[in-house]
Chains A and B, each alone.
Chain A
Amino acid sequence: MRNVLAIAQKEVRSYFASPIAYIVIGLFVLLYGYFYIVMLQYFLRQSMQMAQFGGPQAVNINEMMLRLLFQNVTILVLFLLPMVTMRTYSEEKRSGTIELLLTAPLTDFQIIMGKFLGAMALYGVMLGVTLLHMAILFVYGNPEWKPIATAYLGLLLLGGCFISVGLLISSLTKNQIVAGVTTFAVFLFLWIINWMGSFSGPTMNEVTTYLSIIEHFDDFSKGVIDTTHLIYYVSFIAFGLFLTAKSVDSERWRG
């Protein structure tokens, strides 16, 4: 565990020593802020209209605003996480520091977990900034905190899946750009895989819907923790990390 943390710490340090962390977090916050304001405006207009037509005074902010907001956040995550993961392995391979890691008394698993946790920490900081926006909602209104908490859990799990795939792809190449672009393409494909299902039979539809990474997020944003989705995400992450371990190991054999 100490080794895992040492690697994770080194990863976080290198994110913040390079412009990567600042660019990714900065752009994320900027775009998130934009979504936040637009959604808030939309919500305010909706609730005003509701009031005019004699509807209920209090419109559900969780349902009317936050769910939409979180769905948009997932798109930001789709675009930004490849930039976080693309350098994890490829940079070490290119600069030769991988030789240091692979000849140190560490297991492959410790190295991979360290890198995974490092990237998760950066992602956590990204999401952490948005808690500020949530705090403002709590100051001026009274949203329910439970669906917000589950949405954050969902976002963390979704990001974990992306990071595990990103690590795998980064471990396959020396070139960061190749890693980044491929990761983005794979993320996008995992996102829209269920489109294929809508044109084919019911079985195919069910299978592709289950595989689609974003379908599982919906319940989290509604405030539901369904074990199906939890298991999907956790096993996805585990499988991604397992494949990364295999990829690193096979690289050893091939030399």
Chain B
Amino acid sequence: MIEVQHLTKRYGRVTAVDDVSFRVESGEILGFLGPNGAGKTTTMRILTGYMPATEGKALVAGFDVFDQPIEAKRRTGYLPETPPLYPDMSVSEYLTFVAKIKGVPSGERRQRLQTVMERTRVTDVAAKLCSKLSKGYRQRVGLAQALIHNPDVLILDEPTAGLDPKQIIETRQLIKALAGDHTVILSTHILPEVSQTCQRVVIINNGHVVAVDTPDNLTARLRGSETLYVQVDAGGRDAAATLTSVAGVTRVAVSDRRDGIVGYEVDSEHGQDIRRELSRTVVDSGWGLLELRPMRMSLEQIFLSLTTEESPTSEAGAPAPPPPPVQEAADA
């Protein structure tokens, strides 16, 4: 339904999106995950035809967004980061106007308006001016606007930003209900949102795609190594070397340090419980073992580890090559 091939966008010398490729199957919800400034909005703006790409191409519902913009836009509903509302129009006036410019035939307009307003639960504010709406309602009217012409593809830029917890849950349910009839891309920097709503995730950082996979697969793949957190009072000495010598340990890193007490992250090979070995080693060395607990890789940490992987390479002075994208398990 959506196909993005080697998309690159440069603003002057700044590269916002660099060689991004992915595809979204019909009826799927794809999460677009990345820190602020990663290139999520830029990619979405290219997909919606708001701006052209410097290189590469994007197909929406089979139409090239650059060569056949009108056809592609007819099939796309877009909710930008700030809902594009006209403050001096009432909600129903606004939605009527959007229906007109999106080419909803005048006979069907009333019907569409009603359906969409019910679906996004804005019927009770239909007569209110857009400028008088609360943040939650603004977001919902924005969503209604994106849905008004019943598009095949929905592109939602941070649809839950600024909503209260109840509204967030409602919006997520709505988005889930929309999948199937519509293909959805949503961007967010909130991780639980992705695991709860999306079938697949594209993690993007500094304009590069870092990983494309299902949320479950991502979590599983990165839990390949088990991580323990060990806090040691070694009297100011460095315990890292000793910890590394324990059988099965693959990596030791300092995570925090305070008054001679050092916390280490210890990675071990998959499926090997090294806790006994580790505690014995620490105690045998005459140090104090203050804390020992397993660290579960949450999606949050996966995200962090994926998006910060580049820093050691760039410190070496060489231009950082993009980390190899995680292969799509779904395609294999």
Report which A residues bind B (CB closer than 8 A). 2-3, 6-7, 10, 13-14, 17-18, 95-107, 252-255
Report which B residues bind A (CB closer than 8 A). 9, 11, 16, 42, 45, 48-52, 69-71, 73-74, 76, 78, 80-82, 84-89, 93, 97-98, 100-103, 145
CA distance A202 to B59 in the complex (A): 59
Collect the chain A residues with CB atoms within 8 Å of residue B69's CB. 105
Collect the chain A residues with CB atoms within 8 Å of residue B98's CB. 100, 104
Q: How far is the CB of A4 from chain B (nearest CB, A)?
A: 10
Collect the chain A residues with CB atoms within 8 Å of residue B16's CB. 255
Q: List 28 A-B contacts (CB under 8 A).
A: A3-B100, A3-B103, A10-B89, A13-B89, A13-B93, A14-B86, A14-B88, A14-B89, A17-B89, A96-B84, A97-B84, A97-B85, A99-B45, A99-B50, A99-B78, A101-B101, A103-B48, A103-B49, A103-B73, A103-B76, A105-B71, A105-B74, A106-B70, A252-B51, A252-B52, A253-B51, A254-B11, A255-B9
Collect the chain A residues with CB atoms within 8 Å of residue B51's CB. 252-253, 255
CA distance A105 to B74 in the complex (A): 5
CA distance A107 to B69 in the complex (A): 9
When the two chains form their complex, are residues B88 and A100 in contact, meaning their CB atoms are under 8 A apart?
A: no
Q: How far is the CB of A198 from chain B (nearest CB, A)?
A: 45
Collect the chain B residues with CB atoms within 8 Å of residue A253's CB. 51-52
Q: How far is the CB of A118 from chain B (nearest CB, A)?
A: 13
Contact partner of A105 (CB less than 8 A), chosen from B50, B70, B87, B145, is B70
Q: How far is the CB of A135 from chain B (nearest CB, A)?
A: 33
Collect the chain B residues with CB atoms within 8 Å of residue A95's CB. 82, 84-87
6 more CB-based (< 8 A) A-B contacts, given A6-B97, A101-B101, A103-B50: A13-B93, A98-B84, A103-B48, A103-B76, A105-B103, A106-B101
Collect the chain B residues with CB atoms within 8 Å of residue A6's CB. 97, 100-101
When the two chains form their complex, are residues A104 and B102 in contact, meaning their CB atoms are under 8 A apart?
A: yes
Q: How far is the CB of A6 from chain B (nearest CB, A)?
A: 4
When the two chains form their complex, are residues B101 and A102 in contact, meaning their CB atoms are under 8 A apart?
A: no
When the two chains form their complex, are residues B50 and A96 in contact, meaning their CB atoms are under 8 A apart?
A: no
Collect the chain B residues with CB atoms within 8 Å of residue A252's CB. 50-52
CA distance A99 to B41 in the complex (A): 12
